[in-house]
């Protein structure tokens, strides 16, 4: 394994990608001088509230609800892109084991639905859910699919849900002990809290875009073609902005990713597709 390929996640961490400047929530790899001098990919983040297992436990029902609903509607399982989905996910999984060994122990699995109400998502425990309907409608090629899946996997690798929940916890009165479920109730009923979380959520999307692009490139997917998903979406115009803006604009995301194409190209050239 080439040294540069081994250090994608480490590179993002060292440059501060995981440090949420608005939240002051950082990893040991950034804040601990010893680990900064000798960064290790397997170092778990510290300074976050709750355990990764608590976050996983609190979010598992999300997948259960979606899958049960799809089963009732006869929309569970792939029909048209099974081979491509398995090939891309397996290739990304191999890359995750090499690039982010701390995430290799997650319960990685891919569930395919055929629902118009689901696009793509990943749960903190490593469960990736994607809709074939979404692939048909919005994902023009295999490299773009790799970017979509790798973006979602990056959210799990970088523990974005835990980071966002920790930030929310910091915005609330600290005298009151709160479980993960308590924070979700707060988020559901407190628009001001959600608005205050926008910068953290948008930073998480940038990081997932970046790590997703690099992971998929190292896994053999051509970087420029990966962008086809976002380019197609941007060509249709920015979606109507909601009350809470969880994502940067498509133009911003594409600009951010294009700046990272040279590195992604180097990764891709060193690790060509089979």
Q: Which residues bind Zn ion (CB under 5 A)?
A: 205, 208
Task: Choose between 5 and 154: whose C-beta lies nearer to Zn ion.
Answer: 154
Task: Choose between 5 and 227: whose C-beta lies nearer to Zn ion.
Answer: 227
- The DSSP symbol for 211 reads H
Alpha carbons 158 and 13: distance in angstroms, whole number? 9
Q: How far is the CB of 154 from Zn ion (least distance, A)?
A: 8
How many other C-beta atoms lie within 10 A of the C-beta of residue 204?
24
Task: Choose between 88 and 122: whose C-beta lies nearer to Zn ion.
Answer: 122
Alpha carbons 212 and 206: distance in angstroms, whole number? 10
Q: How far is the CB of 143 from Zn ion (least distance, A)?
A: 18
Longest dimension (CA), the chain: 55
Task: Choose between 110 and 208: whose C-beta lies nearer to Zn ion.
Answer: 208
Alpha carbons 149 and 143: distance in angstroms, whole number? 10
Q: How far is the CB of 77 from Zn ion (least distance, A)?
A: 24
Q: How far is the CB of 123 from Zn ion (least distance, A)?
A: 12
**Residue of closest CB approach to Zn ion:** 208
Residue 271 backbone class (left: φ over 0; alpha: ψ -120 to 50; beta: rest): beta
């Amino acid at each position: 394994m080439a040294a540069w390929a081994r250090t994608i996640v480490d590179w993002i961490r060292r440059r501060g990608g995981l440090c949420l400047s608005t939240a002051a929530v950082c990893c040991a790899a950034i804040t601990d001088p010893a680990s900064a001098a000798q960064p290790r990919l397997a170092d778990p983040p510290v300074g976050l509230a709750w355990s990764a297992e608590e976050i996983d436990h609190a979010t598992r029902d999300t997948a259960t609800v979606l899958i049960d609903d799809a089963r009732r509607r006869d929309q569970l399982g792939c029909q048209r892109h099974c081979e491509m989905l398995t090939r891309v996910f397996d290739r990304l999984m191999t890359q995750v084991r090499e690039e982010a060994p701390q995430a290799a122990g997650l319960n990685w699995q891919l569930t395919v639905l055929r629902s118009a109400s689901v696009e793509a998502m990943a749960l903190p425990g490593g469960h990736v859910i994607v809709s074939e309907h979404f692939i048909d409608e919005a994902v023009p090629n295999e490299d773009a699919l790799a970017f979509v899946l790798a973006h979602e996997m990056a959210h799990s690798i970088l523990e974005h849900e835990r980071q966002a929940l920790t930030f929310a916890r910091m915005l609330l009165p600290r005298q009151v002990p709160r479980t993960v479920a308590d924070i979700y109730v707060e988020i559901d009923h407190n628009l001001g809290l959600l608005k205050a979380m926008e910068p953290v959520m948008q930073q998480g999307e940038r990081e997932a875009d970046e790590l997703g692009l690099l992971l998929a490139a190292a896994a053999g997917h051509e970087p420029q073609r990966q962008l086809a998903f976002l380019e197609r979406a941007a060509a249709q115009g920015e979606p109507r902005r909601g009350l809470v803006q969880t994502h940067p604009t498509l133009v911003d995301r594409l600009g951010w990713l294009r700046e990272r194409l040279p590195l992604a190209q180097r990764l891709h050239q060193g690790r060509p597709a089979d």
